[in-house]
Amino acid sequence: MRRFVGESARRVEDPRILTGRGRYVDDVRLTGMLHATFLRSAYPHARVGGIDVEAARQLPGVVAVFTGAEIAPVTKPIQIGTNVPGFTCPEFWPLATDRVRFVGDPVAIVVAENRYVAEDACDLIDVEYEPLDPVVSFETAQDPGLPPLFEDVGENVIYRVENSYGDVDSVFASAHTVIRETFHQSRQANVPMETRGAVADYNPASRELTFHASTQNTHGWRFQLANYLDQPLERVRVLCGDVGGGFGLKLALSREDLTLAAASRIIGRPIKWIEDRNEHLLASGHAREERMEVEAAVSADGLLVGLRARMLLDQGAYPSIPTASAIYLHVIRDLLPGPYRMQALAFEGACVVTNKASMVAYRGPWEIETWVRERLIDLIARELDLDRIDVRRRNLVDGAPEDRSITGSGLDGISSRQCLDLALEKIGYAQLVRDKAAARETGRLLGIGIATYIEFAPGWREWRSQFSEAASARIEPNGHLVVYTGQGPTGQGHETTLAQIAADALGVPLDHVRVVHGDTSITPLNLAGTGGSRAGTWASGSVMMATKRVREKALAVASAMLEIDAADLDIVDGMVTPRGVPSEPTPLAQVANTAYLAQRTLPADVDPHLAATETFTAEGISGSGWSGGTHVCLVEVDLETGGVRILRYLVAEDAGQIINPAIVDGQIRGGVAQGIAGVLYERAAYDADGQFLAGTFMDYLLPTASEIPFIEIVHYEGPPPGEGVEFRGVGEGGAIVAPAVVTSAIEDALGHLGVRVTEQYLPPGRILELAGVVAVGG
Amino acid sequence: MTFESVRLEVNGVVYERVVEPRRTLCDFIREDLELTGTHIGCEHGVCGSCTVLLEGEPVRSCLLFAVQVPGASITTIEGLTGPGGALGPLQQAMWDNHGFQCGFCTPGFLTTITALLREGDVSEETLREELSGNLCRCTGYQSIIQGVLDAARASGPDTETSR
Amino acid sequence: MKPAPFDYHAPTSVDEATELLAKLADDAKVIAGGQSLVPLLSLRLVRVDHLIDLNRIEALAGITEGEQVEIGACSRHGVVESSPFVRSQIPLVSDALSFVGHRAIRNRGTIGGSIAHADPAAELPAALLALDGSVMVRNTAGEREIQASDLFTGFLSTSLEPDEILTHVRFPRWDEGTGWSVQEFARRSGDFALAGVMTVLGLGADGKIAKARVALFGVASAAVRAEAAEELLVGELPSAELWSEAAERVAAGIDPPSDLHGSSAYRRQLAKALVRRSLQESATRLGAA
């Protein structure tokens, strides 16, 4: 029964957020809590000689100072990705020991009575650095002649992969044209409004570690903390309240988190660390620094028949926990054909280490596959003098049952064609084209951008069958429902959407449901956390299953109480109602009360404990498993200033069944904003010597309300839902496709100048260089 | 290390504390007064998460030292809320419009908007510029704008938020 | 990001402030709005043993109307921006202030502070140049006036002595019919300009340009006047071609910095475009073509 699902129900989270009563990790106060700060390397690459912390230790208010040499003995060395064949992970420690490898590399931790004093103490620490030549450019990092950043790896390429699908040589041999291009993305950063931070609370009496986190993955972090601190899992508890955004960053347990926990264990007191913004920009991690060289085999009528792609990914110095950068290469490779009918693909990829901050997952970490592919479609159209939309239509698969990408992804049921049509219709594409021409007459340069994408949310049939998720539910003695999920929301509104699912599944009012997350001692194990657009399906499905199970139990009790067959009972609005027979409804509260407090009145075979934990598997999912759509935008480029204004932006999106439209639209717009910013504003820049240049918000430019346009959204309504769960994720899509549509529009605006856009970061100066108005390197 | 005595009024309550001169106003509010609704996003005045009302005017509490404003009257997000957590018209409008997601930028936005709405008419064009001093990473701003326009319509020019 | 420790002083008169500054000298800095200084303290790029807070000195705030428009150094940007008197007398200043940061910054930042800080991409130093303004400064020895053209000496540098406090900013009153314009281009709303231009034009009885001021910001180590362009304009009839010529002259005479946000060549191009637009806009306000 659908009462709440599909409605834009007001969020459960909002009353506390709107009144300043959110509980973020910096709001955690514990008795005896101390404050930590990290001393960080100012060198991109150096040997570390002596570290003199005596003066720091003596400063009044300082409780402890630990260096890498003191933290290492209480932790295991960090090594990740050991299950990824061919990925050579260096061994390293939470704090740098004998070498620092990026500006911001943590070298010591100071624990003091407050953050002010801790920073004073940092000023008193003396480190002997012997600078080494930094490896900054990820392109030159491949040079085998360069000394390796990690001696145990022996080279700076830590992963290589090579795969081939279809008959690549033959497809290229018979191609009408081969287009060659190299595409560059620039380094960006997730930059949630809340930086990283934690309170590590080790209790020596109980030997328990309680870790208050700002995380997307409580259970994953518990697992990693237990592992690296050699702490029994059952004595590790991760707690998480509200999180001020993550976008993938807070999936990674950081070296600072491990150091903090280790320090707490050594001194036996709770310690808080809240990252400041400068540290955050410097050291929390970056993303998107990738390059792809492609050769595209194209038919005379614009079919992208085959692709040779060589990709380079800059993973910074230290691999981040727990996902090896190699994995992203695999995903990029698998998704590169997208929804198009490519016949052959040769993919070569490499991950290199450089003296820069670690690569972390950032909203659609494989985004480059969409960007390159959509750029290619535009370039093919330009090269062959064909219409971009015709070329897309020609290349798109239909979503027929037999449709499958050359890399193996099942594409049946995708709605790419329909979304493309919807987008063009809703934006009034023909009129846009006329507007563009008319504007040209008055000297204004407009450009129209189009891009199509798919994201696996939760993925096609075989892919999603690898996963499952559990949830727990309990009907309380008052007839209300508590649901426990291992998800880690950071603004997606799970307390609301999952309550909507549960309320409908049980048949109770929305405010009779409470969703509990953020406590590993009571939520079901979920090592994946929240990310990858999976909550929409997996969390919903698991909550639905667990709720249905407790509903069955409740009806079994009600059946015994009312002497009516359970199959003839319904629960509507919190009342157990017999079907067909006119009779008084019974409050679910009464049923629950009876179950818990009057068990003796029930038959022996009726389970009075109205709780359940259920595992939701892929069998419960129907539909294509792909979200996706088409974005269209209209930009104006000012060739005197290089300024780009987005005049219109429209999203036509297939997100399957939607639990809460307002929440979905919010996710889409937030993602689009980040994608736009990656083109026009944001660059986590290093100079040639490895110094970081964007350490404040004056230099790392997040878009404001003036820079993000009004974003129109239309949802594609596909075929009626199947039997299973079809709430698909949408979290990442906006960020994945927006760079493609904005660069497409800029290229369209400058098309008459012969400009080809093959780099993603286009600040005003670069626009004028591309347009030939300003000399390059002047 | 020197210490100074500070006495000021926050959300209608007078507080007196002894602090170092370098104690920023946002740390004073959060740590010394334990009013954790105000958030710290950058500590260099750009993101706006720390914005509070000083004598009714929005200021960056990360760019003020507590000792600089003796006797001042300050309003934080907690001060925009009625007794028992009752939502004021602005907060209600933001709730209805799904204005925010993670909530971290919210305190700075609400104080800024409260001052804005007091001044009179708002339109979508002027609103975007007026709110450019508050960064949000989650929403793309549209839902916030919508909420403010709604609040402006509902309240009319003379309504004060509940205290 | 917490500042290093300092002692705090809050004088209530200018004399008290100058005495403190004289006594504490190199170990001290004055703070007015703090919108530029506090981030530097928090990042520990600047450390002081003593902070002298000027905000309690009532004599330093306020706008007075005399032969000139005189604004107390500690007057808030926001107060000056919304002053009807300033808007009627020197509207270029009101307009320039609307580009300064955001509302919350303008509620604390001060006119004097911005000018003394002398950020090369800031608006107020350029406004002072464009309007032939001056500042009054004081130390224990007395006070003196510094003309705008003598004030800005380099990157974040002015000709103030270390023991001098800027007390007032003066703008001469305008002639009627003066044309003016502020044009700037920034990456985002409220950012420091990548380049900016302020122009002032006055016509003679013969319809030719009698007075021209072209001040630039963001294109050098300090705000500058493009005197060569000004010379080109004086004595000419207003025309679109003239504005373009002046813009070319400006572009030829600057050597802007390159940084993360733009190359030297880009800033040069930007300055050229903005000069042309600014002169065009000034002329419109004149009522000329």
User: pLDDT tens digits, residue range A511-529?
Assistant: 999 999 999 999 999 898 8
pLDDT at res. A81: 86
Give the pLDDT band (50/70/90) at residue B161: very low
3-state secondary structure A656-675: ECCCCHHHHHHHHHHHHHHH
Q: Nearest to residue C275, comparing CAs of C199, C219, C202, C217? A: C199
- Point out the residue among B54, B64, B112 whose CB comes nearest to the CB of C34: B64
Identify any residues that bridge with A450 across adjacent strands, giving them in sequence order. A632
d(CA A226, CA A211): 11
Instruction: Place C65 in a pLDDT band, splitting at 50, 70 and 90.
Output: confident
Q: Nearest Cβ partner of B133 from C3, C53, C105? A: C105
pLDDT at C289: 36
Closest Cα in chain A, distance from residue C75 (Å): 25
A357 contacts: CB under 8 Å, gap ≥ 6: A102, A104, A282, A283, A284, A285, A286, A316, A317, A684, A692
Helix (H, G, I), strand (E, B) or coil at B145: helix
Q: Tell me which chains share at least 3 CB pairs under 8 Å with chain A.
A: B, C
What pLDDT, on a 0 to 100 scale, did the predictor assign at position B125?
Answer: 83
* Radius of gyration, alpha carbons of chain A: 28
Query: pLDDT value at position A778?
Result: 61
Q: Is any Cβ of chain A less than 8 angstroms from the Cβ of B60? A: no
**What's at A548, amino acid-wise?**
K
Q: Would you say C249 and C228 are in contact if contact means Cβ atoms under 8 Å apart?
A: yes
Interchain contact A257–B (C-beta under 8 A): no
CB contact under 8 A, C44 and A123: yes
Q: Two tokens at A7? A: 């409605």
Can you give the C-alpha Rg of chain B in angstroms? 16
Residue C106 φ/ψ, nearest 5 degrees = -70, -20
- C-alpha–C-alpha distance, residues C60 and C64, integer Å: 11
Report chain A residues whose CB lies below 8 A from the CB of C262.
763-765
Q: What is the pLDDT of residues A417-472, one digit of tens each?
A: 999 999 999 999 999 999 999 999 999 999 999 999 999 889 998 889 999 999 99
Q: Give the pLDDT of residue B162.
A: 37
* Interchain proximity A244–B80, CB inside 8 Å: no
- The per-residue DSSP string of A106-121 comes to EEEEEEESSHHHHHHH
Beta bridge partners of C179: C201
- Residue A65 bridge partners (DSSP): A110
Put simply, the answer to whether A705 touches B100 (Cβ < 8 Å) is no
Counting beta carbons within 10 angstroms of the beta carbon of residue C184, is it exposed (0 to 12), middle (13 to 18) or buried (19 or more)? buried
Q: What are phi and psi of A472, to 5 degrees?
A: -120, 155
- DSSP character at residue A226: H
Helix, strand, or coil here: B53? Answer: strand
Q: Write out pLDDT tens, residues A579-629.
A: 987 778 999 999 999 999 999 999 999 999 999 999 999 999 998 899 999
Decide: residue C205, CB within 10 A, 0-12 exposed, 13-18 middle, 19+ buried.
exposed
* pLDDT tops 70 at residue B163: no
pLDDT in tens, A83-132: 899 998 999 999 999 999 999 999 999 999 999 999 999 999 999 999 99
Handedness of CA A423, A424, A428, A431 (dihedral sign): positive
The residue type found at A757 is V
Torsion angle, CA of B115/B117/B123/B127, rounded to 10 degrees?
20
Asked if pLDDT for residue A669 goes beyond 90, the answer is: yes
Query: How would residue A719 be classed by pLDDT, with cut points 50, 70 and 90?
Result: confident
What average pLDDT score do residues B140-163 get? 78
Tell me which residues of chain A, numbers 520 to 579, contact chain B at a CB-CB cutoff of 8 Å.
Answer: none
List pLDDT tens digits, range A722-758.
888 989 888 899 999 999 999 999 999 999 999 999 9
Give contacts of B94 with chain A, Cβ < 8 Å: 14, 18
Which of chain A's residues have a Cβ under 8 Å away from the Cβ of C269? 640, 768, 773-774
Mean pLDDT over all residues of chain C?
96
Q: Are C177 and C202 in contact (CB under 8 A)?
A: yes
Is the peptide bond between A509 and the residue preceding it cis, with omega within 30 degrees of 0?
A: no
In DSSP notation, B3-36 reads -EEEEEEETTEEEEEEE-TT-BHHHIIIIIS--T
Q: How many CB pairs under 8 A join A and B?
A: 178
- Percentage of chain A lying above the pLDDT 90 cut: 93
What DSSP line would sit under C42-101, residue for residue? HTTSS--SEEEE-TT-GGGS-EEESSEEEEETT-BHHHHHT-HHHHHH-HHHHHHHHTSS
Q: What is the DSSP string of A557-596?
A: HHHHHHTS-GGGEEEETTEEEESSS----EEHHHHHHHHH
pLDDT of residue A259: 98
Residues in B closer than 8 angstroms to C2, CB to CB, are 22, 24, 27
Task: Please name the residues in contact with C193: beta carbons below 8 A apart, sequence gap of 6 or more.
Answer: C99, C121, C123, C184, C185, C186, C217, C218
Chains B–C, number of C-beta pairs less than 8 Å apart:
87
pTM tops 0.90: yes
* Min Cα separation C20/chain B (Å): 17
- Does B49 contact chain A (CB < 8 Å)? yes
pLDDT, averaged across chain A:
96
**Residue A696 to residue B46, Cβ atoms within 8 A:** yes
Q: For testing the chain B interface, which of A10, A11, A18 should be mutated: the one with the most B CBs within 10 Å?
A: A18
Q: CA dist B14 to A719, B7, B33, B60, B65, Å? A: 62, 7, 11, 20, 17
- Give tens-digit pLDDT for B19-57: 999 999 999 999 999 999 999 999 999 999 999 999 999
For C2, the closest of A116, A706, A773 (CB atoms) is A116
Residue A689 has pLDDT above 90, yes or no: yes
Cross-chain Cβ contact A764/C4 below 8 Å: no
- Whole-angstrom distance, CA of residue A218 vs CA of residue A525: 9
CA–CA distance from A211 to each of A188, C68, C226, C229 (Å)?
Answer: 29, 63, 61, 65
Q: What is the DSSP track for A108-170?
A: EEEEESSHHHHHHHHHT-EEEEEE------TTGGG-TTSPPSSTTT-SSEEEEEEEEES-HHH
Question: What is the rounded CA–CA span in Å between residue C273 and residue A665?
Answer: 39
Asked whether residue C278 carries a pLDDT value surpassing 60, the answer given is: yes
3-class state of residue C106 by DSSP: helix
B120 pLDDT band (50/70/90 cuts)?
confident
- In chain C, the N- to C-terminal Cα span, in Å, equals 53
